[in-house]
Amino acid sequence: MTRAAKSNFDTKIFLATAGVGRSIVRCRVKENFFSQDEKADSVFYLQSGRAKLTVVSRRGKEATVTLLAAGDFFGEESMSGDDTRRSSRASAITVCVAMKISRREMLRVLHDEHLFSDFFLQFILIRGVRTQADLVDQLFNSSERRLARTLLIMANYGKDGDPETLIPLVTQETLAEMIGTTRARVSFFMNRFRTLGYIEYNGRIRVHTSLLNVVLHDELPEENASRPRLLDPPSKRSHVKTRRTREENV
């Protein structure tokens, strides 16, 4: 009899029910699962809701690293050692329910239960691919295309099952942090997307399939990639020229 046959382990039950070394955690909107720089002693598995990971620099600037949805692990840096500190803050965007698994229990189940270790390894690999894609997106794509990709990810396009076209409430400031631009540009592109019929935007955002199609086929209209036009302040030279012209006319 194989080791797999001997085991009665069920990954779904393990991640859904409290037990030795694991507990259910509920967070209200904006409540933290953990804070940056605190001791990392557990891994979380998001059962329901939406959350985000944010990082604050030494100068106090905050940036959103990624958004989390049901089925995501987070806080896995705790697996690297006893004295590891959290590299980011995890907070709820909507009401969230998560499974909190102690580092010791996580190490035990990864070692003893191959079904779970395969499940966790697959998640880590997918996240690695996603992180690499995020880096490529930042390096080579326009801020408009980065915004489109972020909206599609939030709507779960590309994941198993039907997408959630009505995405959780998210501010333009958060979107700007995620794609590395300003709130003004996010507002500019969101209005463009709405005009082109890619999204509905009235407080909450509903993403249409047409946005996925134009991103996949790289067919975002070129004029959308332009930045909002801002009037530059006139130069000193132009001031002097204008004054001379007025004097000559007099």
- pLDDT band (50, 70, 90) for residue 7: low
Task: Report the CATH number that the domain containing residue 164 is assigned in CATH.
Answer: 1.10.10.10
- Show the tokens assigned to 239: 């001031």
CA neighbor of 121 nearest in space, from 135, 111, 133:
111
pLDDT at 187 over 90: yes
Residues 117 and 20 in one domain: yes
Task: Report the CATH number that the domain containing residue 76 is assigned in CATH.
Answer: 2.60.120.10
Domain-terminating residue out of 134, 149, 178: 134
Segment 218-242 shows an average pLDDT of 49
Alpha helix positions (H), the chain: 3-6, 11-16, 103-112, 114-140, 143-154, 172-179, 183-195, 209-216, 236-249
> Do the domain assignments include residue 235?
no
Domain total in the chain:
2
Residues 177, 181, 186, 189, CA torsion sign: negative
Residues 85 and 151 in one domain: no
pLDDT of 4 reads: 46
pLDDT of 122 reads: 94
pLDDT of 1 reads: 44
Residues 168 and 127 in one domain: no
pLDDT at 235 over 80: no
- pLDDT band (50, 70, 90) for residue 225: very low
> Do the domain assignments include residue 241?
no
Residues 146 and 100 in one domain: no
Residues 119 and 160 in one domain: no
Segment 165-180 shows an average pLDDT of 84
pLDDT of 139 reads: 80
Segment 243-250 shows an average pLDDT of 51
pLDDT of 218 reads: 74
Q: Can you give the residue range of the structural domain that contains 172?
A: 141-225
- The highest-confidence range among 129-138, 154-163, 191-200, by mean pLDDT, is 191-200
Residues 171 and 106 in one domain: no
pLDDT of 244 reads: 53
- pLDDT band (50, 70, 90) for residue 159: low
Contact 16, 45 (CB under 8 A): no
Residues 54 and 77 in one domain: yes
pLDDT > 90: percent of the chain:
46
- 16 vs 5, higher pLDDT: 16
Residues 128 and 158 in one domain: no
Residues 99 and 159 in one domain: no
Residues 119 and 11 in one domain: yes
pLDDT at 110 over 60: yes
Segment 138-142 shows an average pLDDT of 82
Residues 110 and 183 in one domain: no
- CB 239: neighbour CB atoms within 10 A? 10
pLDDT at 113 over 60: yes
pLDDT at 229 over 50: no
**Residue 167 DSSP code:** P
pLDDT of 24 reads: 97
pTM for the predicted model, two decimal places: 0.72
The three-point CA angle 58-68-202 to 5° equals 100
Residues 18 and 41 in one domain: yes
> Do the domain assignments include residue 243?
no
> Do the domain assignments include residue 218?
yes
> Do the domain assignments include residue 238?
no
Contact 24, 97 (CB under 8 A): yes
Domain-terminating residue out of 119, 134, 149: 134
How far CA 212 is from CA of 37, 62, 130, 191, in Å, comes to 37, 29, 17, 17
